[in-house]
Amino acid sequence: MKRRIIDCSLKELGTFGFRKFTMDRVAADLRISKRTLYMHFPSKEQLLEACLEEWLHRKQLLVWTDDNLIDELCTLYTGIRSLDLPVVMRCCRELRQCCFPVYRFFLERLFGYAEACGTCAERDAQAGYLCRTVSSHTVSAVVSDFLIRLFGNEEARVVLRGYPLSPEILVVFTRGLCTIKGRAYLDQRLKTLS
């Protein structure tokens, strides 16, 4: 039942957005009582968090696969390239305005993902894929800054007016971290993505 509720809610969000999303409409579309809906999701915020988790999983965004950093950033790059960025930016702005607790949940996921990338960088430097001078803090900071500018922070987008943030920045950033061995691996990964 939870899967059906989340799928229906994602459809509703795609049609009506966060401002007009209601638990009443979800219950009516599923032909269940609101009581049944609230048994599975005690609040609208919990349902929206579950929807956000599912959307991120489907788009392969901020979903940690425990691969090396090059693979992680290539997966993120692929996920971002599949998005309609103006629509996603509008949705993020709407989420921030309408349901700040869920937006904060999204930011926590974003920062957690960036921190995991930093941790992964240390391991990959020891394996010879990344330069030894690469610090986990730098990787975490750059990944989180990129994602915040892309998804979360209206003020950051104002500063970048006229300069759309491109997912290719991830490739350039990743290449800059790599050793010769890492660049060969990255080039191989990018060929498989094309």
Q: Are residues 92 and 147 in the same domain?
A: yes
3-state secondary structure of 82: coil
Tell me: do 152 and 185 sit in the same domain.
Answer: yes
pLDDT over 70 (residue 158): no
pLDDT tens-digit map of 31-87: 999 999 999 999 999 999 999 999 999 988 888 877 889 999 999 999 898 888 888
Structural domain range at position 9:
1-54
Residues in Cβ contact with 25 at an 8 Å cutoff, skipping those fewer than 6 apart: 12, 16
Record the pTM. 0.85
What is the distance between the alpha carbons of residues 171 and 31, in angstroms, rounded to a whole number?
46
CATH of the domain at 27: 1.10.10.60
Q: How many independent structural domains does the chain possess?
A: 2
